[in-house]
Amino acid sequence: MGIAEECQLLTKSFSGLGVDEKSILEIAQKWNSEHKSSFRKESPHFSKHQHHSFEHWHGNWVNAIHREFLRFKEAVVLWTMHPWERDARLAREALINKTYEVIVEIACTRSAEELLGARRAYHSLFHHSIEEDVAFDQHIAAHFRNLLVPLVSSYRYEGSHVNEEAAKSEAKVLGKIIRTDKKAIDSEEIVRIIATRSKTHLKVVFKHYKEIHGKTIDEDLQNEPSLRDTVMCLNSPETYFSKVLDAGLVDGADEVAKEALIRVIVTRAHDHDMKEIKAEYQKKYGVPLPQKIKEKTHGSFKEFLVTLVEKAN
């Protein structure tokens, strides 16, 4: 391989999700200063300094590379944590970074015991409750906060019993409120139903909703993304997680989407629902999830994510 091809390979190794450590090491052990100079001149991530004769990284690209080198470490550290600690720390970071969709995700896709465990871990690690931190976070819009607090406080029934008459009645109530001019997320009755009913019961409610109103509840909540995502996490988490994964694997994905990619794969792997997520992803996007990860990521980060995804069969 000539120097031009190696320069291209090194540029590719630094581009995308994760870094190609193997290629970097193979090149580093044989390159000298002249080779590195050629790389800097040919790489699109370097510029010639206006007043002095040297090539320098684009400032934003330096920060980006630092993040990509850390990507694998972040995934491994998250993977090694006890699920309760992991969710507690994810929730804490979500409050700090104002990525409140993570809290919806944890509250709605974990079992009653898993959510209770995360709340206990949060107490131990941060010396106050997640309910308290959500309730007093003034950066959260009041109507959204009124939904988040009961979601994180919930301990849902997980049996199979469903009251059909109550489910039909609640489907009518949901439709009446959602289809009026009133903002649905402001409704105490909607919050009560969404935040307290079992997931089995809610699936029946949403089934009756479509039968009564002619549209799915997701379709009627297009203008209320926070409530729509909450419903999706409760009713069809595999669809929700597929969307999150794809957003993290598109070219130009932002940092929030990339972090979500790690979070979903690590938290849903092994004994959770990765098998269903993979099936839904292929159905929705026409490509196997492991293949998409291989196309869009690099190095140890890629190998780690693919291993977690492929183990779920």
Dump pLDDT digits (tens) for 247-301. Answer: 999 998 999 999 999 999 999 987 678 999 999 999 999 999 999 999 999 999 9
Whole-Å CA distances, 238 to 241, 280, 281, 309: 5, 6, 8, 14
pLDDT value of residue 25: 82
pLDDT value of residue 30: 76
Mean pLDDT over residues 156-173, rounded?
A: 96
Supply the pTM of this predicted model. Answer: 0.89
Token pair of 249, please?
Answer: 């694997």
Residue 41 pLDDT exceeds 80: no
pLDDT value of residue 66: 84
Token pair of 199, please?
Answer: 């997931």
Token pair of 108, please?
Answer: 């709605």
Taking every pair of Cα atoms in the chain, the longest distance, rounded to a whole number of angstroms, is 78
**Higher-confidence position of 171 and 67:** 171
CA distance 172 to 19: 52
Token pair of 42, please?
Answer: 């040919």
Mean pLDDT over residues 25-32, rounded?
A: 75
pLDDT digits (tens, 9 = 90+) for 106-138: 999 999 999 999 999 999 999 999 999 999 999
The domains found in the chain, sorted by start residue, are: 83-155 (1.10.220.10), 158-235 (1.10.220.10), 238-311 (1.10.220.10)
**Higher-confidence position of 305 and 65:** 305
CA distance 71 to 19: 9
| Percent of the chain whose pLDDT exceeds 70 | 88
Close Cβ partners of 47 (under 8 Å, ≥ 6 residues apart)? 55, 56, 58
CA distance 307 to 166: 44
pLDDT value of residue 58: 64
pLDDT value of residue 302: 95
The whole-chain average pLDDT of the chain stands at 89
Query: Taking the CA atoms of the chain, what radius of gyration do you get in angstroms?
Result: 23
